[in-house]
Amino acid sequence: MDVRILNGTRPRGCVALPPSKSEAIRAALLLALSGADPRRAVKGFEPPICRDIENALRTAEDLREGLVGESAALERFLIPIQAALFGRVSLCAQARLLARGLREAEECFGVSLSPAADGRIEAVLGLEKSVYELDCSRSSQFLSGLLIALPLLDRSCEIIVKNGLVSRPYVDMTLDFVRLFGGIIEETGRGFITRPSVYTEPERVPVTGDRSYAAAFEAMNALCGDITLTGSSPFTRQPDKRFLMISALDDCDITDCPDLLPVLAVTACGKAGDTVIRGTARLSTKESDRESGTVKLIRDLGGSANVGADCVMIHGTGSLAGGTCDTYGDHRMAYAAAVASLIARSPVTVRGAECTEKSGPAFWRDLASLGVVCFEV
């Protein structure tokens, strides 16, 4: 689906945030592990629910099935959970996700997790060890999976974190949820120690509005909008809540909030002068090659940007020409293109706009409700 967005709109109105993907996926799995209804994770949120969360809810209802779709977090959480519960891994993922690989998990567990031709990963894998070493220099998602799974075992285990730890706020989020459900975890100088625990359903499951989704509308406000967002919480661990603070900087680091790159870069195009966004090299293995894709999107819309050493540099002029850009199947690119339309001198056509179903199925409807004229072409 291609969508054309008329340029120069000043969006105004109110947007109700969908549930946070990162919080809802953790909550759904822990609810299932405590014997409760996983759908309680999204109670109180209006439909539609995004594709990644729906996959998590279906998977939580049958943890053996392992239908993870294109959710990297769900895939990486489920590997150690299945190993702890069943002594084997059985997953089915989309080709785009499988292409990103599972190197960290294979190194940690000493087993091949290569997919078969039908996209299913099958492996005999039990968690017999008491010490697990994990490379967390590219992703913290396997670590979060271990932190959820290891308390299910009948013995204490140690996780040794190697080569640094990226996306630390997401690990803190996992620790909060695991402890809320009764998991016992201690932090050490080199990682974590888990203790045998019994997960129990808490009285309250604190899933809040998605701050990654909110960032697109906060970017619009930073440029020219007047949008009120409902459903967020200042107490969330989501690192993307820092968007407004980061977007005001001319030199910033997104190591802990990698999802912000496309929207952050387009927002920088609305300022005069150069902006450097650091910590971007590992984004080449996201839903798209998000580092080079962001630069191409900006160039396709008449802006100036380039990839540096673990950074993206934007040469802002205050506006963009407009034109046609591709999402490369990446929902964050679609959000960035919509933000770009506000500072474009001609309409913006977004190829592959349906990719927003992954995290924000109401995005185009929300955009239209703010007075932004957008239509399928």
> What are the residue numbers of the active site?
259
Contacts of residue 56, defined as CB under 8 A and 6 or more positions apart, other chains included, come to: 24, 25, 28, 29, 38, 41, 71, 74
Handedness of CA 359, 239, 142, 182 (dihedral sign): negative
* Helices 51-61, 21-33: inter-axial angle, 10-degree rounding: 10
Contacts of residue 76, defined as CB under 8 A and 6 or more positions apart, other chains included, come to: 102, 105, 139, 141, 142, 144, 145
Number of H helices, E strands in the chain: 13, 17
Tokens of 214: 């909110």
Contacts of residue 121, defined as CB under 8 A and 6 or more positions apart, other chains included, come to: 89, 90, 91, 92, 93, 98, 102, 113, 114, 115
Helices (H), 226-362: 243-247, 261-269, 290-300, 331-340
What number of other Cβ atoms are within 10 A of residue 365's Cβ?
12
Which residue is listed with tokens 């998605």? 210
Beta bridge partners of 230: 16
The span from the CA of 273 to the CA of 287, in Å, is 29
At 364, the amino acid letter reads W
The span from the CA of 71 to the CA of 51, in Å, is 9
Q: Are 150 and 84 in contact (CB under 8 A)?
A: yes
